[in-house]
Amino acid sequence: MTDIAAVRHPDLATWRPTRHLPVLSGRTLAWIAIVTLATFSLFPALDIAASKLFFVERPCKQAQALLLVCGDFPARAHLAHLRQVLQALPFIAAISLGLCIAVKLMIGGRLESPLARKASTAVWTYAIGVGLVVNVVLKGYSGRPRPINTDLFGGDFPFVAAGEITSYCTANCSFVSGEMASATWLLCVVPLLPAAWRKTGFGLATGFAALTGVLRIAFGAHYLSDVLLAAIVTLAVHHLVTATAVKLHSGRPHLAADTLSTISGQTRRWLRQAKEWPRRKASWT
């Protein structure tokens, strides 16, 4: 029987999305997340001990006499510029990747080549994992104060264990680390590299993520659990996005082909309308 999808889009017949970190299955990632959250929930002293490594306690001034602890995280002042660079690089990479896909669609291309699909999978992971799950849902509704805002480190709020939902923080909270999620996302870009460069790229991306995580703890911005769980969430979302693409292709390949064509066409129309908008606005005035 003729595969209609393969006739329309020949590379769909042989394409299989490259899973990153194939040794970590979805079930494995789920168990790692559960064990990590349970560990830090049952033993919150682990979070406190990790943050204390970077906290320098100082004598309280007269105006701070009521505080139990006074001091700061010196890394906040000394490594601020390095943090800004680490924060910006994954965001720039994600925006650049999204723009490349947009330009490809705008000039009439399609998201049908293996490289284009890997790129779109990475972009979807950033949008869903880093953007929605981490920065909107978890950081917006967890309510966990950052270490520097807790009374253990000179702040006003009590310490909150990982996974506990409170109302102490109303936005951009400690649980989980958005910058760590963004840094971990760079691992999802490694499959876009030539095969000979992927091992090096994996090592560099891992080192980048580890350095980002250490700095977030050193700045008093996040606990160790925030950093670890942010990385796990990002990898889990990447696995789900990739698994969904695989299931869509293997179960209903014609639907995958039609969906890609529809998305490509609709995106081109949106981009064309956005390009013409300034001219239409000028004609109205």
Q: Tally the domains of the chain.
A: 1
**Lowest mean pLDDT, pick from 52-66, 71-85, 181-195, 199-213:** 52-66
Q: Does 20 have pLDDT greater than 50?
A: no
| Residue 2 pLDDT greater than 60, yes or no | no
- 216 within domain boundaries: yes
Confidence of residue 280 (pLDDT cuts 50, 70, 90): low
Task: Confirm whether 235 is domain-assigned.
Answer: yes
The domain containing residue 169 runs over which residues? 26-278
- What's residue 1's pLDDT? 38
Give the per-residue SS3 of 203-250: HHHHHHHHHHHHHHHHCCCCCHHHHHHHHHHHHHHHHHHHHHHHHHHH
In the chain, which ranges are E strands?
56-57, 71-72
Mean pLDDT of the chain: 82
Identify the residue with better confidence: 270 or 15.
270
Interaxial angle between packed helices 224-251 and 253-284, expressed in degrees from 0 to 180 and rounded to the nearest 10: 110
pLDDT for 6 beyond 50? no
Is the per-residue pLDDT at 150 higher than 80?
Answer: yes
pLDDT for res 18: 43
Domain contains 153:
yes
Q: Which residues pair with 56 in a beta bridge?
A: 72
**Has residue 191 been placed in a domain?**
yes
Q: Helix crossing, 45-52 with 26-42: angle to 10°?
A: 80
Q: Which of 168-177, 218-227, 275-284 has the lowest mean pLDDT?
A: 275-284
Tell me: pLDDT of 16 over 50. no
* Single pTM value for the model: 0.80
Examine residue 4 and state whether it is found in any structural domain, yes or no: no
In a domain, 8, yes or no: no
pLDDT at 115 over 90: no
